[in-house]
Structure 1
Amino acid sequence: MRLLHTSDWHIGRTFHGHSTDDHLRSVLAAIADAVAEFSVDAVVVAGDIFDSSTPKAGAFTLLADALRAIRDNGAQVVLTSGNHDGPARLAHNAAFASAGGVHIKADHTDLASPVTLSDEHGEVLVYGIPYLHPEFMRGAYAEFTGSTHQDALAFAMDQIRADALARPGSSDTQGKTPPRYVVAAHCFAASAAGTAPPETTEDTGRAEERDITRGGLNLVDIATFDGPAYTALGHIHSRQTLSDTVRYSGAPLRFSFGERSSAKGMWLVDLGADGLESATWLELPTPRAAVRLEGTLAALMAPDAHPGAEEAWVEVILTDDQLPRDAMRTLQARYPHAVTLSHRPANRYDAGPQQYAERVEGKSDAEVLEEFLTYVRNGAGPTDAEHALLNEALDAIDAREATR
């Protein structure tokens, strides 16, 4: 049995206000191409299909096109809902879609109803766990008294293991094992060491701890997923291998500059007669790279500077002592997809240890204005022309006050 594990499509998401639909469409087409190239039996998408619980009509069209291409190339599809999805909207016409080989798992009251696949070794059961909000679980199951996502996932996995063991020929009392089964879930799972999955960033070159409640999801112990031949996880946007059988595929597209150093792709999962045989990483195309450029405006605008960034999403950090006027407009003439700009001067003005009130005490209005401009412009005081304008304005104020 050959599966493709992907997740976090986030259809409808923008990149700093710019649509990613066209880029995502090309990446999803590459997933469909991989289905044909590698003779994939099923594509498992572990949550966050949409970026919003109320997606626009165009998002449904993009999803339908992607699913049709995957089905045309021979694979069935199992989708689960994530914390971004609206389960009811995602699962509308789910029964009809299932008849066409697209299986949508978004109902928290129906956890132990797998999609049944088969190969030369027998059945493979694919269980899709939707995002499980503990409050909804307490309302649906009298026996559930938990309050965390860990509690909810443990409850779901207990139901799944029990269902798998109840299958014909899978009784514990007969000393037999359950059929091969796969689980897809959307959560924030602990690594084998019991910590949050690390992210390797381009900035530090080392692992960073992640917020264990990122996206509203509590940390889930990896041991919760003991039993399945493979667990396909979603929610983390970069690939993570928590164990041989528990993995994140990450998002197929970069949705922020924080993801610019993470590889984008999916896991090609092969199951044999006894369970997992291999999980191979397949790279996906990058429709538009995401880069960070740092330097002075003059250096960044030099004719030979960063030619590879001209078609990329660009995050700019300007190091000029003073922020140049119309800096973003100037940059976009060279880097049309520059979308963020921050100013971090290479040289910082030292105003001294005194508080502002102490620095301006006893000074004239003109001197106070000069002090203010020098401070907010990183040491650059008013020019001669600005001095003249300030003095003219102060004289006008004095003249008006004298006539009262």
Structure 2
Amino acid sequence: MRVLHTSDWHLGRAFHRESLLEAQAAFVDHLVETIRSERVDVVAVAGDVYDRALPSVDAVALCNETLRRLVGENVRTILISGNHDSARRLGFGADLIDAAGVHLRTDPARVAEPVVIDGVAFYAIPYLEPEVVRAPWQLPERSHSAAIEHAMAMIRDDLAGRDARSVVLAHAFVTGGQGSDSERDISVGGVAHVPVTAFDGVDYVALGHLHGRQRMGESVRYSGSPIAYSFSEAGHVKGSWLVDIGPCGFRAADFVPAPVPRPIARVSGRLADLLTSQRWARFEDHWLQVTLTDPVRPKSAMESLRRRFPHTLALAFDPEVTAQAAPRPSRISGRPEIEVALDFVREVRGEPADDDERRLLREAVEACRAKEALA
């Protein structure tokens, strides 16, 4: 059996306000092409199908189109809810949709009810919020580890009565995994990790939540997100794991890279060098996060950068040499607001505001006073 392990689609997500729906649709095209060329039997989606509990209409339409196309390829699809999904909304009509070969598993109570396909039992562990499952499962503590270990105990009990190979889908943060800036924090009391040993006893574990592909063990893997959702993922290779399950269980897994909608990069340097040097030419079509190292913060830096790098999305300032700091005022209370504002400009930029900026600040201060007077 061939299983295509994918996760963290985050349909509807934007990248620094840039829509990614076209890129996500291109990934779906790639997914279908891979299913055909690699003769995939089952697609396992390990959570975070949507980017939010109330997805946009366009995101729902893309999900609907994706599932329709997968059904058309005569491939079985198993999806679990992640911490970004609404379990109830994603799981709507699950029993009816089962008949089409799409298996939505979002209810923790069903973790020990596998989808059995050609002698392989697929167990689905949706994202488990510890506070939600603690009482019904009588967990000894409120933690992700306790929740996953209880779910796995139920799965092992069920599997013991079957003559079947096994695959577990789970959405969790496994100890040792490398996170990125685009993942939502799921820690409880400062702890979010689940030990990899919690998943012992099954043939393959298809993990979701972390956005970089990684192996937590030979048969315990994250596929990562199919698209980069933060600049911290600039070095990632995105895609899915193509997993072979043989008569004796897990046999091999190969990574299938996904198309890159637009490359991303982080660059750092002085503004004049970034705008003129040919060594930066290869980044002209990238989405960029730029850190300027000029000793004094340049004016209109974003506008200047976008003339050469039209897809610059984020700008930071980290001067190589700190400009001579202006004497800091000994007090703020009682001083005119305009003086405080002008001191702030001089402090963060290393040079005073010009005449136009002074006029703009005065107008802003006067507008605030007028608003307060009318309140």
The aligned residue for residue 124 of structure 2 is: 128
Counterpart among 249, 267, 278 of residue 293 in structure 1: 267
Q: Tell me how far 1:377 sits from its aligned partner.
A: 3.0
Which structure 2 residues correspond to residues 218-297 of structure 1 after superposition, within 5 A? 218-297=192-271
Deviations 1:165-200 (A, max 9, x none): 123xxxxxxxxxx4101000000012xxxxx32369
- Name the CA distance, whole Å, in 1 between partners of 2:106 and 2:340: 63
Structure 2 unmatched runs, 5+: 332-338, 363-375
- Name the CA distance, whole Å, in 1 between partners of 2:344 and 2:144: 51
Which structure 2 residues correspond to residues 305-316 of structure 1 after superposition, within 5 A? 306-316=280-290
In structure 1, the residue corresponding to 2:266 is in which secondary structure?
A: strand
Counterpart among 305, 311, 329 of residue 337 in structure 1: 311
The aligned residue for residue 373 of structure 2 is: none
Counterpart among 333, 345, 349 of residue 377 in structure 1: 349
- Name the CA distance, whole Å, in 1 between partners of 2:288 and 2:341: 36
The aligned residue for residue 168 of structure 2 is: 183
- Name the CA distance, whole Å, in 2 between partners of 1:183 and 1:369: 57
The aligned residue for residue 198 of structure 1 is: 178
- Name the CA distance, whole Å, in 1 between partners of 2:106 and 2:27: 24
- Name the CA distance, whole Å, in 2 between partners of 1:297 and 1:225: 50
The more displaced of 63-72 and 26-35 is: 63-72
In structure 2, the residue corresponding to 1:185 is in which secondary structure?
A: strand
In structure 1, the residue corresponding to 2:273 is in which secondary structure?
A: helix
In structure 2, the residue corresponding to 1:279 is in which secondary structure?
A: strand
Which structure 2 residues correspond to residues 57-76 of structure 1 after superposition, within 5 A? 57-76=57-76
**Residues 238 and 369 (structure 1), Cα distance of their counterparts in 2 relative to 1, 3 Å cut:** closer
- Name the CA distance, whole Å, in 2 between partners of 1:86 and 1:14: 19
Q: Contact 2:46 / 2:206 at 8 angstroms: preserved in 1?
A: yes
Two-structure CA RMSD over aligned residues (Å): 3.0
The aligned residue for residue 365 of structure 2 is: none
Normalised by the size of structure 2, how large is the TM-score? 0.85
The aligned residue for residue 302 of structure 1 is: 276
The aligned residue for residue 111 of structure 1 is: 111
The aligned residue for residue 140 of structure 1 is: 136
The aligned residue for residue 146 of structure 2 is: 151
How many residue pairs are counted as aligned between the two chains?
351
The aligned residue for residue 165 of structure 1 is: 160
- Name the CA distance, whole Å, in 2 between partners of 1:198 and 1:290: 19
> Which residue identity lines up with residue 61 of structure 1 in the other structure?
A
In structure 1, the residue corresponding to 2:108 is in which secondary structure?
A: coil
Q: Tell me how far 1:292 sits from its aligned partner.
A: 1.4
**Residues 297 and 79 (structure 1), Cα distance of their counterparts in 2 relative to 1, 3 Å cut:** same
**Residues 101 and 322 (structure 1), Cα distance of their counterparts in 2 relative to 1, 3 Å cut:** same
The aligned residue for residue 397 of structure 1 is: none
In structure 2, the residue corresponding to 1:292 is in which secondary structure?
A: strand
The aligned residue for residue 171 of structure 1 is: none
In structure 2, the residue corresponding to 1:332 is in which secondary structure?
A: helix
**Residues 136 and 374 (structure 1), Cα distance of their counterparts in 2 relative to 1, 3 Å cut:** closer
- Name the CA distance, whole Å, in 2 between partners of 1:279 and 1:37: 16
Q: Contact 1:109 / 1:140 at 8 angstroms: preserved in 2?
A: no
Q: Does 1:357 align with 2:330?
A: yes
> Which residue identity lines up with residue 148 of structure 1 in the other structure?
S
